Structure 1
Amino acid sequence: MKFGIDSGWFRRYEAVTPRRRVLILPHAGGSAAYFRLWGQKFGQDTEVLVANYPGRHVRASEPFMLRMEELADAVTEALLPFLGLPLSIFGHSMGASLAYEVALRLEARHSVRLEGLHVSSRKAPHRLTPGTLYREGDDALVAEIQRLGGLEGVSLDDPALRALVLPAIRADFTIVGTYGPRSAIPVGCPVRGYVGDRDPAVTDTDMSAWADVAPRGYAQQVFPGGHFYLAEQRDALIRAVSGSPAGAR
C-alpha cells in the first residue's frame, strides 16, 4: 500500500483492491499529517482519505475557511468523485461536526447514504454552545490547546512556532465557535460515538446525545484517555471504526 497521494482536498491511501472507503476529518488545528499512520491500518480492501484543510501544509497558500457551512459544502463537493464505493466518515472533535454536516449534504443533495458515521470527542449538534475563544489573544488559545492535550510534545513558547501554527488553530476555532446549536436532524445511517474517559471538554453523557440524530442505530465506546485519547488508542479505535457500519446498542 502506498504511503499516500495528495489528491486536492484529500490525502489518499490506495488499497490493493478497494471495496469501500473511509474519510477522516481532522480536529481544529489538525491536518492530514496527524493521521499519517492511519492510512495503512484499515486493510487492503479499504481506501482511506484524510482531509487536507485549506491554509496549512500542502495548501498553505490557500485562505482559511471560517464557517462550518462553507467547509462542509466544499468537502461534500470534493467527495463526489469518490462515491462509487460504500463510504464511512470518521471525524474527531471539530471533524465530528463536519462529518455530520457532510453526511446531511450527501443525503439531501446527492441521495448518498453513508455506510456509517463515526463521531469522536464532540457534543451532538443540538447540544453545542457557541464560543468566543477565537476572538481572544494567543495566550488564551494556547491555554485551551494545553488543556485539551493538543500538539503533544510541541512547545508553543517559541514565537516563530506560534506564528506558524496559531493562524490555522484560530481559523478552526472560529468555525467551532460560530457553529451550533443546530436542530437534531437525523442521518440515514448508523452512528457510532467515541470519547476518552478523562476528556475535559466532552463526557460520555454528552456523546450519548448523538443517539437523537441516529434512528438507524447508535453505539458508543469509551476509551482510556483525554480529548486526544486516539493518540494512544489508535489501533483499538481503528478496529472499532473498521467494524462499520455502526450498530445499535
Structure 2
Amino acid sequence: MTDRTTLVCLPFAGAGASFYRPWQRVAEPLGIDVLPLQLPGRERLIDEEPYRDASAAAEGLRTDLLAALGDTPGAHRVALFGHSLGAVLAYELTRRLTATADVTVVHLFASGSPHPAEPRSAHATGLDDDAFLARVSEFAGYTDEALQDPEMRELILPTLRADVEMHESYLPADDRPLPVPVTSLRGSADTLVSRTEAEAWARTTDAGFRAVELDGGHMYLAESAPELLRILAANLDRAAEELCV
C-alpha cells in the first residue's frame, strides 16, 4: 500500500468537481492526493440525468471511484470528504467501500452536516423557482452569483433541484456504526448546523470520533482550504500513528 492517501471529495448541492480542484496543489505537499468525484448533470457531465436518490448516487460514485483508482496492485488507501449533501454521499460511499476489496477507507470527514439520519425541519422541494432558490439560499448561507443570470439559472436549476430532492428525501438504509474513524467539521459561525448537530456524527462510528470547528459560516471551506487541508492531514497522520501503536 502507498503511504499517500487519496482524499475523495464529494460536492455540496449544485456544485461540481471543479470546486475541489484548487485543493490538489495545496494538498500535494501534505502527502494527500485530492480526487474530486463528479456527479452527473453538471460541468462535463451536464447532459447526463442527475441523481435524485442518494443510494443510487453512492453506487454510481463507487463505480466511478474504482475506475479512477485503477488496477494498481495492492490496496488503495482512501479518505472521504463531503460537505452538506456531500457529507451524506460520503457516508453512503464509505459504507460501500468498507465492503470493497483492495480499498482501505482510513477516515470519513463530514463537513457542514448534522447526523445523516436527521431530517431538515424545512424543505425546498416542490416550491416554485423563486421560493425554491430563496429557501436554498437560506440552507446554504449564500447565493451563487450564477443564479442571477437568467440563462445560467435555467441551466443550473434542474440539477440543483435534483440535488436538493436527493438530500431532503434521504434516509440511511443501515444505521450500524462504521468501522472507520469520523471527523465532523463545521464553521464556528454556522447558523445552519449547530455544534450539537455536528457532534451527533459520533453515533456513526465505533472507530474513533473528533469534532473540529474552523472560523467562518456554513461555507467556511470556500475561504479556508489551506487550513482545512492541514487539519485533514493532521487527522490522517494521527490515525496512522494510532494504527501503528
| Structures share fold, TM-score greater than 0.5 | yes
Aligned to 2:24: 39
Residue 219 (str. 1) matches residue 210 (str. 2): yes
Instruction: Tell me which amino acid in the other structure corresponds to 2:13.
Output: A
Q: CA deviation at 1:199?
A: 1.7
Of 192, 209, 216 in structure 1, the residue corresponding to residue 183 of structure 2 is: 192
User: In the aligned structure 2, how far is the partner of 1:234 from the partner of 1:144?
Assistant: 26
Of 31, 43, 48 in structure 2, the residue corresponding to residue 62 of structure 1 is: 48
Instruction: Tell me which amino acid in the other structure corresponds to 1:24.
Output: C
State the SS of the aligned residue for 1:136: coil
Instruction: For 1:4-153, list aligned pairs within 5 A.
Output: 19-44=4-29, 45-81=31-67, 82=69, 84-110=75-101, 112-129=103-120, 132-147=123-138, 148-152=140-144
Q: CA deviation at 1:19?
A: 2.5
The answer on whether the counterparts of 1:115 and 1:244 sit within 8 Å (CA) in structure 2 is no
Instruction: Tell me which amino acid in the other structure corresponds to 1:149.
Output: G
Count of aligned positions: 231
Q: CA deviation at 1:139?
A: 1.1
Q: Select between 143-152 and 193-202 the one with higher mean Cα deviation.
A: 143-152
Q: TM-score, normalised by structure 2?
A: 0.85
Deviation string 1:74-104 (CA, Å, 9 cap, x unpaired) is 1112222427421001001100010010111
The answer on whether the counterparts of 1:65 and 1:171 sit within 8 Å (CA) in structure 2 is yes
Deviation string 1:187-217 (CA, Å, 9 cap, x unpaired) is 1111111001222221111011111112111
Residue 233 (str. 1) matches residue 233 (str. 2): no
Instruction: Tell me which amino acid in the other structure corresponds to 1:37.
Output: P
State the SS of the aligned residue for 2:179: coil
**Percentage of pairs with the same residue:** 31
User: In the aligned structure 2, how far is the partner of 1:76 from the partner of 1:216?
Assistant: 22
More helix by share: 2
Deviation string 1:135-158 (CA, Å, 9 cap, x unpaired) is 111112221333223445x16333
The answer on whether the counterparts of 2:76 and 2:104 sit within 8 Å (CA) in structure 1 is no
In structure 2, list runs of 5 or more residues that go unmatched: none
Q: CA deviation at 1:56?
A: 0.9
User: In the aligned structure 2, how far is the partner of 1:99 from the partner of 1:72?
Assistant: 8
State the SS of the aligned residue for 2:157: helix
The answer on whether the counterparts of 2:123 and 2:168 sit within 8 Å (CA) in structure 1 is yes
User: In the aligned structure 2, how far is the partner of 1:18 from the partner of 1:41?
Assistant: 18
Q: Select between 128-137 and 67-76 the one with higher mean Cα deviation.
A: 128-137
Q: TM-score, normalised by structure 1?
A: 0.84
Aligned to 2:164: 173
**Aligned CA-pair RMSD:** 2.3
Deviation string 1:151-181 (CA, Å, 9 cap, x unpaired) is 45x1633322211221111010010011026
Q: Select between 236-245 and 95-104 the one with higher mean Cα deviation.
A: 236-245
User: In the aligned structure 1, how far is the partner of 2:35 from the partner of 2:3?
Assistant: 12
User: In the aligned structure 1, how far is the partner of 2:124 from the partner of 2:101?
Assistant: 35
Note closer, same or farther for the CA distance 1:239–1:162 as it changes in structure 2 (3 Å cut). Answer: same
User: In the aligned structure 2, how far is the partner of 1:111 from the partner of 1:35?
Assistant: 25
The answer on whether the counterparts of 1:126 and 1:183 sit within 8 Å (CA) in structure 2 is no
